[in-house]
Chains A and B, each alone.
Chain A
Amino acid sequence: MDFFTSIPTHIDYVGQAKAEKLYRAIITLFSIVGFIWGYIVQQFSQSVYILGAGFILAAILTLPPWPMYRRNPLNWQNPRNPEEKTSSKKKK
């Protein structure tokens, strides 16, 4: 279990915005194409399958933490030295 939780899956804030835009665009596009195609062949199941393909594509592109979503890491402050910490705790 520790092994699985140790895999980094997070993506940074800019990456999150990018991923959200991407999956919305993909799924919306596939649904429009699916609707038109389903209407042409008069089979609603075709529309559902095409939407399902869009879901799978969106999942592949946005679920794993691809490097393109991790290009803007947050610049955290460096940790203060441990001695100062312990002294502040003592004061409390």
Chain B
Amino acid sequence: MYSVLTRVNAILTYTLSVLACLTFLCFLSTLTVDYRTTAQMNTVKVVVKNVPDYGASRERNDLGYLTFDLKTDLSNLFNWNVKQLFLYLTAEYVTPNNELNQVVLWDKIILRGENALLDFKNMNTKYYFWDDGNGLKGHNNVTLSLSWNIIPNAGLLPNIPALGQHSFKFPVEYTQTRV
């Protein structure tokens, strides 16, 4: 505390310690928040094709194609410790090859302050719905579910599943034409 430099050091160190403490308190203040909320989703058009997967093995695999509706209000999830939400829509199903298949079909980033009232109609998926084999044709219980990953200022990055799912069936015949 004798010279200017030691005083600068003392003040800066104390300020940064207090800032770290504030950040931790901010984390504690949002620790018990329940980030679950409802989401309604629905499939509009569901088609399955059998085409070569050149990205993997050139074998003919099942490729699902679907459009979906999604309606949810996420605006009450945002608080002072949420910077952005990463939404992702997954399809989950069981095949004889695998007990659990999870395919991410679509995702979206919502920054805080952006519109979080979502109402999508007849949306295309962003990513291919490949099965690693022929498990999609005639499958009668594929579950569509929405989840979000919360990106905070400080603290945990939880993955929260939305309340509400949608199950749908794939047609029993392959579609040959372009859709």
Verify if A71 is at the interface (C-beta below 8 Å from B).
Answer: no
**Set B1, B4, B8, B80: member contacting A38, Cβ < 8 A:** B80
**Contact: B11 with A51, CB < 8 Å?**
no
**Set A35, A42, A59: member contacting B11, Cβ < 8 A:** A59
Verify if B19 is at the interface (C-beta below 8 Å from A).
Answer: yes
| Complex CA distance for A9 and B8, rounded to whole angstroms | 12
**Contact: B29 with A31, CB < 8 Å?**
no
**Set B4, B10, B25, B81: member contacting A23, Cβ < 8 A:** B10
| Total interface residues in chain A, CB < 8 Å | 29
Verify if B15 is at the interface (C-beta below 8 Å from A).
Answer: yes
**Contact: A11 with B1, CB < 8 Å?**
yes
| Complex CA distance for A23 and B21, rounded to whole angstroms | 17
Residues of B within 8 A of A23 (CB): 10-11, 14
Residues of B within 8 A of A48 (CB): 19, 22
**Contact: A27 with B80, CB < 8 Å?**
no
Residues of B contacting A: mostly = helix
| Complex CA distance for A11 and B3, rounded to whole angstroms | 8
| Total interface residues in chain B, CB < 8 Å | 23
**Contact: A34 with B80, CB < 8 Å?**
no
- Known contacts A16-B1, A42-B80: A58-B11 contact under CB 8 Å: yes
Question: In the complex, which residue of chain B has the Cβ closest to the Cβ of A12?
Answer: B2
| Complex CA distance for A63 and B80, rounded to whole angstroms | 33
Residues of A within 8 A of B26 (CB): 35, 38, 44, 47
Residues of B within 8 A of A43 (CB): 80
Verify if B153 is at the interface (C-beta below 8 Å from A).
Answer: yes
**Set B2, B12, B18: member contacting A51, Cβ < 8 A:** B18
Question: In the complex, which residue of chain A has the Cβ closest to the Cβ of B8?
Answer: A63
| Complex CA distance for A24 and B19, rounded to whole angstroms | 13
**Set B2, B12, B25, B153: member contacting A35, Cβ < 8 A:** B25
- Of all A-B residue pairs in the complex, the 9 with the closest CB atoms, nearest first, are A16-B1, A42-B80, A55-B15, A31-B18, A9-B4, A44-B80, A23-B11, A44-B153, A63-B7
Spell out A's residues near B (CB within 8 Å). Answer: 9-11, 16, 19-20, 23-24, 27-28, 31, 34-35, 38-39, 42-44, 47-48, 51, 54-55, 58-59, 62-65
